[in-house]
Structure 1
Amino acid sequence: MASHPLHIASKHRQSWLSTFLTLGFLCFGLCLLFWNECCIIRAASFLAETMKNVVTLPSALSLVESNNGKLVHLSGVIYTDEPFVVNEYGIAVSAVKLKHRVQMYQWVQEHRSEYEDGGNDNITTHYIYFTDWKDKLINSSLFFIRPGHENPRKLPRKTKVFISERVTIGKFSLSSALKQKFNNFVIFTSDERPEQRHIKLHSGLYYHCHDVWHPEVGDIRIQFSYAGMAGEYVTILAKQVGVELQPFELPTGEVIAEIRPGSWSIKEMFHQDHSAQWGLRWTYRALGWLCVFLGTNCSSTFLYLLVCRYSNRTTPATSCLTSMKLTFSVSLSLFVISMSWLWYKPILGLTIFVAAVSPAIYVIFKYNLSETQKLL
C-alpha cells in the first residue's frame, strides 16, 4: 500500500539533516579513499622508478666513471677531515655535525581567565610569573606587569649547528644536501671539567652562572650534541656526480637522498619504508569506508522516502539500501579504489571494479529471477 503524499512530504522535510550528514560523510570518505590510493600509487611508482635506476656498488671504494649521473647504493664508514674543537669547554669530537644548544634563564608570563558569578561577560584574568630555562628570547616588554620581570634584550650566545667541511665515505665525498641528512643528535660532554670558574658542568650541561642551584635571570647554559660520528658505518642512496654524492631526482619529480646507519640492502631499505606506511594506509582505508558506511546509513531513509514518493512498491535499490547497507558501502568504496588504480594497473583496477559491482549485479539478477518465477 502506497504512503499518503502528505505523510511522505512531512518525513521528507524532516530528512534534510540526514541529507547534509550524508553528503558530508560520503564526500569526506570518498575523497579520503581516493587520496589514500593516489598516495599508494605514487609510492609504488616511486619504488619502481628507483629500482629501475639504482646501481648497487660492491663497496664504497668502487668509483666507476660509467656510473656518473646514476643513482648508486653503497655502504661504508664515514670520515671527517678535522674534529670539532671547543677549547673553552674541553670539547673535541669528530662528527658530521656539532650542535650548541643555548638556553637562558628568563621570566615567563602565563595568564589564567576565570568566569565570575555574573555570567560570561565578567571575566577576571590572573597573570602568573615564574623563571625557567628557555631556548628563545622572551620579550618582557609585552608583559602585563613589567617592573620586576625584566628579561635581557638579547641572547649572549645563540644556538648553532656546525657542519664539517669535508665528509667522505670510501672514495666519495658527501654534498651539503647529504650532510644535512644527519639529524640523529647524541648528547655528550667532555671528560674534563672546564678550567674557567664561571663555567660549571652539571648533568651534561655547561652553566655560565655563579650558582647552578640558584641561577639568576640572564644566566645561560649550553648543551653539546653531535650527529654522524666519524667511523660510523652507514648506507647511502644518492646520485654519483664525479666523486661527490648528491640528491637524485626522478622523472616523477621525487628526490632521493637517503642515509641510514648500518648496512642495508636496497630491498631491505624499501621494505622497511613499505612496512612503516602499510599500517597507516590501511587505517586510512578503514576510516574512509567507515565514513561511507555512515553516509549510507544517513541516506537510506531519505532515498527510501524519495522512492516511495514516486512508486507504489519497493524496488531493488530500496531493498539494497535498507537491508544491504554494509554491502553497498563496501561496493562504493571498492568502486572509488578501482578508479584510482585503472590507469596505473588496469588489470588490478578492473578486478577491484568487478568486485565492487558484483553485489549490485547479484541483486538485480535475483530480482529479475523472482519476477520471472512470478510470471511463470
Structure 2
Amino acid sequence: MAYTKTTTTSYGQRLSGSLKGIVGGLVMFIAGTCLLWWNEGRAVKTAKAINEAQSVAVHVDDVSSVDPSIDGKLIHASAFADTKDILTDDIFGVRELAIKLSRTVEYYQWVEETKTEKRDKIGGGEETVTTYTYEAKWVGSPVNSSDFEDSEYRGENFVLTNVKDEKQLAPTVTFGGYMLPDFLKAGISGMKPVQVNMTEAQIAEWNKEIRKSLGIDSNDSSNSTTVEKLAREWNRKRNWLQDVGDSTQLVHVKDNVVYFGQSPNSPQVGDVRVTIEKVVPADVSVIAKVNGSTFEDYIAKNGESFSRIEMGTISAENMFQHAHDENNMLTWILRLIGVLLVVGGLKAMFSIVTTLLKVLPFLANIADAGIGIVSGVLGIVWSLLVIGIAWLVFRPVIGIALLVVAVGGIVFLKSRAKKKTQDDVFNATPPPPPTAAR
C-alpha cells in the first residue's frame, strides 16, 4: 500500500529556491559547455592515437616464444591465453583453474521508491504530494530501512549474512611465450558458471553462523539513541527465527549459486544470494607494445595511450575499427550529455520568470512552456556553436570546410528568398481598372 506525504511551499520560499536555481543553472551551463569543448578535443586526440598506432603496428604470426627483434614494438597477434593457476574461494569451497574468479552477492530487501507531483496554488504557493511505494527485490548491497518514510516498513530490512563481492585475477596468464599484464587480463571476458561443491561440514557451519548472527548482543543497547531502532531490528530477527525453527536448512547450493534463506523459490526479506563465475583460458587477440616478455600500453606522440584485447581471432584492421567505433559512440554520448546540461542549465536560470508568475498558475504554465522551448533552442544553438568552434581548433581542415559550406548555404538560401520576393513583385497581377460611374 502506498504512503503519501504532502508538503506546502510558500511563494517566498519558491522565489528563494529559484534564486538558488540560477546559480545551479549557471553551474550546469558552464559544466555542459566545458564538457562539449573537452569532448571534441578528447575525440580528436583519441582518433589520432588510434591512427598512429595503426600506422606503426606490426602483425606477428607466432608468439610461442619471446622474440627480441620485436621488443619495444607495437604488435598485433592472436594466441591462446592460458594459465595454470588455481583460484580459490575458500568460504564456499571453490577451487578452479581460471583466469578470473568472480563472486557476486545480492540481497533481498525492501526498496523505497518515490513519485512526486507538484501542484500550483493561487497566490504563488506550491503543494507537493510525494507517494512512497515499497517493493522487495534483489539489490547489490543491504538497504538501510531505518529512514523509510512509512513506519510500517521502517526498520524491516536485515540480512542473514554479509558477504562481500570479490573478483580475482590469475597471477600468471600466458600469451604464447609472453605474460599478460593485469590491464590486459581484465579485458578477457566470457564468464561461465562454477559448480559449487560445499561439504556438509561447511553447510552446517554456515547454518550455525547465520543463527548466531541473528542473536542479540545486549551490549549493543548501551547507546540510548539507538534503542528504538535496534529493538525493532531485534524483534524482526526474533520473529524470523521463530518462524524458521531450529531444524530448517538455511543454506542451499545449486550449480553456481549459494542461497541463504528458507527457500530459493520463495525469497524473503533478508535472504542472500551468492553467484560464482569464472573466465577460462581462451583464444584472444592483442594489440600492445612488447616490453621484454610482457606488454605495456603504446604511448602516442600526443600522449594518449593505446592497447586492446578482444576475444577470439580478430584481424588488426577490425580491432582498430572497433576502437574507432567505440570512440565515436563515446563522443556522441558525451555530446548528448553536454547538450542536456546546457539546456537544463538555461531552463534553471530562466525559471525565476516562471516563479514570479506563479501567483497566476495559468500564466506561469504558459511562461514555463515558452521558457522550455526557448531554452531548448538556445541550448542547441549554443552547443552547436561550441562544437563548431572546437572543430575549428581541433579539426581545422574539416571545421573550415564545414564553415564554408554553412556560410554558402546561408548565402544561397538568402539569395533564393530575395529572388523569390522579386519574382513575386514582378509577376504580381495589377489591380483591375476602376469601373466608370454611371
Structure 1 length normalisation: TM-score? 0.60
- Give the alignment of 1:313-332 within 5 angstroms: none
- Residue type at the aligned position of 1:218: G
Deviations 1:268-319 (A, max 9, x none): 21233445667898998xxx9xxxxxxxxxxxxxxxxxxxxxxxxxxxxxxx
Please point out which of 282, 307, 315 is paired with 1:257.
Answer: 307
- Give the alignment of 1:1-376 within 5 angstroms: 41-86=44-89, 89=92, 91-113=94-116, 121-144=126-149, 145=151, 149-152=155-158, 156-182=162-188, 184-190=189-195, 195=200, 196=203, 198-201=250-253, 205-227=257-279, 229-230=280-281, 232-274=282-324, 340=391
SS in 1 for 2:53: helix
Q: Is the 8 A contact 1:177 1:247 kept in 2?
A: no
Q: Is the 8 A contact 1:174 1:246 kept in 2?
A: no
- Residue type at the aligned position of 1:133: W
- Residue type at the aligned position of 1:138: V
SS in 2 for 1:140: coil
RMSD between aligned residues: 4.8
- What displacement does 1:33 show? 10
Q: Is the 8 A contact 1:97 1:161 kept in 2?
A: yes
Find the aligned partners of 2:165 and 2:106 in 1 and give their Cα distance: 8
Find the aligned partners of 1:225 and 1:125 in 2 and give their Cα distance: 41
Aligned to 1:319: none
Q: How many residues align?
A: 293
Deviations 1:173-231 (A, max 9, x none): 1112222223x35241417686436432458532012222344433211112223x21x
Deviations 1:116-174 (A, max 9, x none): 99887454544433432221121122223277633338962111111111111111111
Q: Is the 8 A contact 2:86 2:95 kept in 1?
A: yes
- What displacement does 1:80 show? 1.4
- What displacement does 1:233 show? 0.6
SS in 1 for 2:264: coil
Find the aligned partners of 1:69 and 1:186 in 2 and give their Cα distance: 32
- Residue type at the aligned position of 2:269: V
SS in 2 for 1:100: strand
> Structure 1's 113 and 38: CA in aligned 2 closer, same or farther, altered over 3 A?
closer
- Residue type at the aligned position of 2:311: P
- What displacement does 1:235 show? 0.5
Deviations 1:17-74 (A, max 9, x none): xxxxxxxxxxxxx999998875664354223310233232222224222332322221
Q: Is the 8 A contact 1:209 1:215 kept in 2?
A: yes
Find the aligned partners of 1:279 and 1:116 in 2 and give their Cα distance: 40
Say which structure is richer in helix: 2
- What displacement does 1:256 show? 1.4
Q: Is the 8 A contact 1:34 1:340 kept in 2?
A: no
Identity of aligned residues (%): 25
- What displacement does 1:77 show? 0.2
Aligned to 1:327: none
> Structure 1's 187 and 51: CA in aligned 2 closer, same or farther, altered over 3 A?
closer
Find the aligned partners of 1:174 and 1:47 in 2 and give their Cα distance: 21
Structure 2 length normalisation: TM-score? 0.53
> Structure 1's 241 and 146: CA in aligned 2 closer, same or farther, altered over 3 A?
farther
Find the aligned partners of 1:127 and 1:33 in 2 and give their Cα distance: 37
- Residue type at the aligned position of 2:259: Y
- What displacement does 1:76 show? 0.3
- What displacement does 1:101 show? 0.5
> Structure 1's 194 and 257: CA in aligned 2 closer, same or farther, altered over 3 A?
farther
Structure 1 regions of 5+ residues with no counterpart?
Answer: 1-29, 289-332, 368-376
- Residue type at the aligned position of 1:139: N
Find the aligned partners of 1:362 and 1:128 in 2 and give their Cα distance: 58
Structure 2 regions of 5+ residues with no counterpart?
Answer: 1-32, 204-248, 340-383, 419-438
